[in-house]
Chains A and B, each alone.
Chain A
Amino acid sequence: MKVQNNKAWLMVLPMLLLVAISAIIPLMTVVNYSVQDTFGNNEFFWVGTEWFQEILASERFHNALQRTLLFSALILAIEIPLGIAIALAMPRRGISVSFCLVLMALPLLIPWNVVGTIWQVFGRVDIGLLGHGLASLGIDYNYTQNTLDAWVTLIVMDVWHWTSLVVLLCYSGLVSIPEVYYQAARIDGASRWAIFRFIQLPKIKRVLLIAVLLRFMDSFMIYTEPFVVTGGGPGNSTTFLSIDLVQMAVGQFDLGPAAAMSLIYFLIILLLSWVFYTVMTSLDNDAAAEQGRH
């Protein structure tokens, strides 16, 4: 006996159409390409899962996948603890709060390819502040030729760009902790570390998981910044999955394999997101169960 409000469907219809046209239909064309091959002249014939098998067996794909996973892992390992630490250090009351929040938000506002360009120039040995500075200190640094330097540069750039997101999310979780918890902890003689471990960390668990999910997805799909800075080089040492995909689709115009790889890429992300989502909602249910007792 639910109230049927049909008007709601009407309001959603234009949006559904838009999503259909801009997302679903193109996705279907990709699926279409992924199961076909062409000899040119716009003649396509069915090959079934051949492209998928070829991609999954190819060394090139696996290398790119490993690089992407390694990159995501390093990003998470650095950004999450760093983000929490900065959020803990930020003031919770007073004028400086707005100032800090604005400072934290700044890196997030810069367009991504601008970020890439900034760091590309920043790291150049001839004219970049960082590159030139390191060179004059005698350190051998060149991200266009040295794999390690390229990776370090990309990671530092991403940390600079995105840690603020983790900071802001954790901060919002921290300010919602009622003051009584801190007072009680002081009375219990808890050390700074104990307060973090037993009060702050449990209370920001949910927000933290959102932060981890967002950062994982973004870093796994990263394209613009590394492309601008290193273009996938030196060699293919920073060729992540997304870059590889574009090289295949646009550079080589191999539609079939590219389409298949897109779908595989999409499915990997979907799977990992689903895992995160399940963990998050089970945590939610835990929290809801204890609230229900009151």
Chain B
Amino acid sequence: MASIHLKNLGHRYPAAGAESDNPYALNPLNQVWEDGGAYALLGPSGCGKTTLLNIISGLLRPSEGRVLFDGEDVTDLSTERRNIAQVFQFPVVYDTLTVAENLAFPLRNRGIDNTTIQTRVADTLAMLGLEARANERARSLNADDKQKISLGRGLVRTDVRAILFDEPLTVIDPHLKWQLRTELKKIHERYGHTMIYVTHDQTEALTFADKVVVMNAGSILQVGTPKELFDRPRHTFVGTFIGSPGMNVLSCTFDGTAAIVDGVRIVLNEATLAAAQAQGLASTSATLEVGIRPESLRVIVADASTVDDTHCVNVEVLGVEDLGRHSLVRLRLGEQLLCALHPEGAAIPEAAALRLDPACTLLYADALLVEANDVPLLP
């Protein structure tokens, strides 16, 4: 296993350049990823995550910057010599070989002796739960098992430094996605390979990874644990991208003591307030926005007690969608739309108010989180 260090890594496709204002498919970045960690590269299509993965695996040479495995510069090494394994979107199996032969393939190519091959293949078959099908032709298996074989070809090698996944669950049946996902996680927990997983599906990313790298338009916006990304998104894009539904983002102004959304005062927590004052946001020209997750909003009955409560604001209920385990309530605050989640079985009052929790209310200036200046954006 290896730690991965990306130094000033950027990539520009030679053909681009004249067309867009930003010729970089991947803007220069610096990252250090620990040995044995499970990382997910999460972002919408075209954000550069697959480019980054291909640079790490060696299938693409970066136009600038270096890639280091355990301190060793591998940027100039070919894919075969980097000792990585990659699982692609489409299951790649050698049709004419059996499952066991497929797993043995990478070892045979490296000239390893038969006895070792037998042991390693047997171990890997056990890891993946494919012992029963070891002697079947690979092409007769379903997509789920074929992806396992692809993974197996990586696991079978003892010298593999990292296993890379490029949206591996794309062709898997939705009801089998669960199984493969949990098995990947178990394999990671048990054997501790460094794993890097590219996806646009937040559930896959958040459930799989210890740390998630959120990307958009060729840049890394935030790296953090699922909890950090959920509770404190450093960028409004991260807030709206993660969470289903995503974070509510409302335009506001700052009057020095509280955020004002269409005339309604929104109480901020101490830390945010202090940072906002320190950055002089009351008189700034930056775009200010308030970010609140639907999960942290409570829809309650608007009555005498809520009028005086500074943590409650009156809202208009536009509609309710029953989603089974909770309801999605669409609301209007002033001129702006937002939504809240309401527990199953509870009624929605007609005259409604929202209870906000200042600890969960975040302030953004020009899409970046307002917080004390000594907190670094990226590790």
Contacts and interface: CB of A to CB of B under 8 A. Distances in A.
Complex A–B touching at CB under 8 A: yes
B251 interface: no
Interface stretch (A156-164, A178-186, A277-285): A178-186
Nearest to A287: B139
Interface in B253-280: none
A191 interface: yes
B88 A184 contact: yes
A189 B109 CA distance: 6
Nearest to B94: A198
Interface residues of A, number: 20
Contacts of A289: 140
A181 B105 CA distance: 14
B216 interface: no
B79 A187 contact: yes
B118 to A, nearest CB: 18
Interface string A130-155: 00000000000000000000000000
B105 A183 contact: no
B88 A183 contact: yes
A228 B142 CA distance: 56
Nearest to B144: A294
A194 B109 contact: yes
B59 interface: yes
Nearest to B166: A180
Interface-central residue, A188, A198, A203, by most chain B CB under 10 Å: A188
A184 B109 contact: no
B109 A191 contact: yes
A112 B292 CA distance: 78
B85 interface: yes
A293 interface: yes
A199 interface: yes
A104 B359 CA distance: 72
A209 to B, nearest CB: 15
Contacts of A202: 94-96
A187 B142 contact: no
Contact of B80 (A180, A181, A187, A294): A187
Contacts of B110: 189
Interface string B84-104: 111011101011110000000
A2 B96 CA distance: 40
Q: How large is the interface on B (under 10, 10 to 19, 20 to 34, 35 or more residues)?
A: 20 to 34
Contact of B139 (A181, A190, A290): A290
B379 to A, nearest CB: 29
B150 A184 contact: yes
Contacts of B153: 184, 188
Interface in B90-130: 90, 92, 94-97, 105-106, 109-110
B105 to A, nearest CB: 6
Contact of A293 (B90, B106, B142, B171): B142
A188 B92 CA distance: 11
Interface string A110-137: 0000000000000000000000000000
A208 to B, nearest CB: 14
A180 B88 contact: yes
Given A189-B110, A190-B105, A290-B139, A184 B86 contact: yes
B57 A198 contact: no
A188 B109 contact: yes
A186 B150 contact: no
A187 B109 contact: no
Interface in A189-207: 189-191, 194, 198-199, 202-203
A234 to B, nearest CB: 47
A226 to B, nearest CB: 39
Contacts of B143: 294
Interface string A71-85: 000000000000000
A198 B104 CA distance: 13
Given A186-B79, A187-B79, A181 B92 contact: yes
A188 B95 CA distance: 15
Contacts of A187: 57, 79-80, 84-86, 106, 154
B90 A178 contact: yes
A180 B109 contact: no
Contacts of A290: 139-140
A190 B59 contact: no
A191 B80 CA distance: 11
A186 B79 CA distance: 7
Nearest to B54: A183
Contacts of A190: 105, 109
A188 B105 contact: yes
Contacts of A199: 94
Nearest to A188: B106
B305 to A, nearest CB: 58
Interface of A: 178, 180-181, 183-184, 186-191, 194, 198-199, 202-203, 289-290, 293-294
25 contacts: A178-B90, A180-B92, A183-B59, A183-B88, A184-B86, A184-B92, A184-B150, A184-B153, A186-B78, A186-B80, A187-B57, A187-B79, A187-B106, A187-B154, A188-B106, A189-B106, A190-B109, A194-B105, A194-B109, A198-B96, A198-B97, A202-B96, A289-B140, A290-B139, A293-B141
- State the 8 A-B residue pairs at the shortest beta-carbon distance, nearest first: A184-B92, A189-B109, A188-B106, A198-B94, A180-B88, A189-B80, A186-B79, A202-B95
Given A178-B90, A183-B86, A293-B140, 19 more contacts: A180-B89, A180-B90, A181-B92, A183-B88, A184-B86, A184-B88, A184-B92, A186-B59, A186-B79, A187-B79, A187-B154, A188-B105, A190-B105, A198-B96, A198-B105, A202-B94, A290-B139, A293-B142, A294-B142
